[in-house]
Amino acid sequence: MVAFSKLVAAVVLAGSASAHTIFQQLWVNGVAAGQNVGIRVPTYNGPITDVSTNDIICNGGPNPLATPLPSAIINVPSGATLTMEWHHGGNGPDPNDASDPVDPSHKGPIMVYLAKVDNALTTTVTGLKWFKIYEDGLDVATNTWAVDKFYANKGFVDFKIPTCIPPGNYLLRGELLALHGAGSYPGAQFYLSCAQINIVGGGSSSPPTVNFPGAYSGSDPGILLLPTTVDVCDPRPPTIYLWRLVTHLYNICSNFIHHFANYHHQLADHHYRHFLSSNLHDHQPHDHPGYDNADNHHWQRWNGSAVVRSVWWYRMDWSDDMCFGYLQEIE
């Protein structure tokens, strides 16, 4: 496990790196909204390390948010390409800073979550229901982390707003997780900010949601990395695209089972009718003793109730080699 061994080495040797980062500008289809416009930026670029506190929602606590909170809400067309812009300091890019947008030792994944709100200017962020629309992690083929690409792109991260998301006001939560200190807990470093957006147009999906705090645990294998660990797993909930893919696969499977069951039913009925026409001319097909029971047995066997009760999806997002970090059952 080359990728894992390198990550463990980074964890073991970590400790002194302190080059942090702030999500401080949102671009919509290539147009910048403006520095700190519509984003609840912290006044300090430090990490959140305790996943059990409310600070894991939109930052704060050891990194107090700038006040007053922004009054702007950024309009975002459904399906738009958004770009998060992050930097080491709070005033945009610094070409003389080798740690801008973040120190390259801060290996880890990058995620984006949304939470529907009545008003994106709300000051209450507890109790919201979050769903993930984007994630990038470890490319095991090249041993490249999301943060490696993020550093090469000078702090810019592109992603799309799924067209299935209903219109309205949302908080958009950008998260970068640095794993260089994850050999103990608290050690993994969460960098995050929330943007205030209004999605114009869209669909009517209701993706599965999670709570913050609550979605993460300090003992999750994607947050706590030990030298004795065999795999680096992702404990996080699925992105909306994965959720839609799983639902699509489930529907395909269900349709296949349904058609196969109908075929099996018709084939059995055909053979039975042939048997009757050859041997029992004075009986109707369903008058045969035991026919209904046999037919029901076959239907129950193949319609999914006894064979395929659910579809299981295994994720390999920012995992190492063949580590399956998330398992979701679709009823």
**How far apart, in whole angstroms, are the C-alpha atoms of residue 225 and residue 69?**
35
Do 170 and 285 sit in the same domain of this protein? no
322, part of any domain? no
CATH number for position 54: 2.70.50.70
Do 149 and 291 sit in the same domain of this protein? no
Residues 215-227 as b or e (16 or more Cβ within 10 Å = b) = bbeeebbbbbbee
Do 69 and 17 sit in the same domain of this protein? yes
Q: Print the domain residue range for 16.
A: 2-235
Do 118 and 259 sit in the same domain of this protein? no
Do 186 and 269 sit in the same domain of this protein? no
**How far apart, in whole angstroms, are the C-alpha atoms of residue 147 and residue 191?**
12
324, part of any domain? no
**88 three-state secondary structure:** coil
Q: What is the pLDDT along the chain (331 residues), one digit of tens a residue?
A: 334 444 444 443 444 345 699 999 999 999 999 999 999 999 999 999 999 999 999 999 999 999 999 999 999 999 999 999 999 888 888 888 888 888 888 999 999 999 999 999 999 999 999 999 999 999 989 999 999 999 999 999 999 999 999 999 999 999 999 999 999 999 999 999 999 999 999 999 999 999 999 999 999 988 998 654 434 444 455 555 454 454 455 555 555 555 544 554 455 445 444 443 444 333 333 333 333 333 333 323 233 322 222 222 222 232 222 222 222 222 2
62, part of any domain? yes
Among candidate residues 198, 214, 235, the one where a domain is terminated = 235
Do 188 and 101 sit in the same domain of this protein? yes
**299 three-state secondary structure:** helix
Do 43 and 75 sit in the same domain of this protein? yes
Question: What pLDDT is recorded for position 331?
Answer: 26
Do 275 and 220 sit in the same domain of this protein? no
Do 183 and 306 sit in the same domain of this protein? no
Name every residue whose Cβ is closer than 8 Å to that of residue 192 and which is 6 or more positions away in sequence: 23, 48, 56, 58, 59, 173, 174, 175, 176
**How far apart, in whole angstroms, are the C-alpha atoms of residue 48 and residue 54?**
10
Is residue 3 within 8 A of residue 322, CB to CB? The reply is no
Amino acid occupying residue 20: H
Is residue 105 within 8 A of residue 186, CB to CB? The reply is no
Do 248 and 109 sit in the same domain of this protein? no
Do 161 and 255 sit in the same domain of this protein? no
